[in-house]
Amino acid sequence: MPLVRLDAEEDPTPNLAPMIDVILVLTIFFMCATKFTSDERRFDLDLPKAGAAAAAAEGRPEVVEVEAAGTVKFAGATVEPGRLAELLAAARAARAELAVTIRGEQAVPHGRMAEVYEACRTAGVSRVAIAVQARTGSRTR
């Protein structure tokens, strides 16, 4: 590497181009390495608001989505509410500590949500969570 002679009045300055290159490479690496969960963004549901919420159970829970029209989706596919219990039982047979997160829109009738809860109970799923959005300006206690 050739050395450059500086005049007596000229101060040495760092070359910023390699540092900028490293930062860009690290940014791209972290963007690619981050796992973006698409389960929570797959459907644009109007979730109800809650003041405080607990974290979901360990592991990756199965997601049951209930739309305002009453449509029930399990693992991304539309299912009949009567078949939900047997699908959950099959998933529980594959994984004993199955956790289920129910994402129901705010306008879903209580009867439809009760059917989903009953399907979870019938399938033997004891770890059930309900997805909500935090209210703005509320405190957790």
Domain ranges of the chain: 49-134
What's the pTM? Answer: 0.54
We find that the CATH architecture of domain 49-134 is 2-Layer Sandwich (3.30)
Query: Sign of torsion, CA 97 52 136 132?
Result: positive
Tens digit of pLDDT for each residue in 77-109? 888 878 888 888 888 888 878 888 888 888 888
Q: Which of 36-40, 43-47, 137-141: highest mean pLDDT?
A: 43-47
Average pLDDT value over all residues in the chain: 78
Q: Collect contacts of 32-40 with beta carbons under 8 A, ≥24 apart.
A: 39/63, 40/131
| C-alpha dist (Å) from residue 24 to 29, 61, 74 | 9, 35, 39
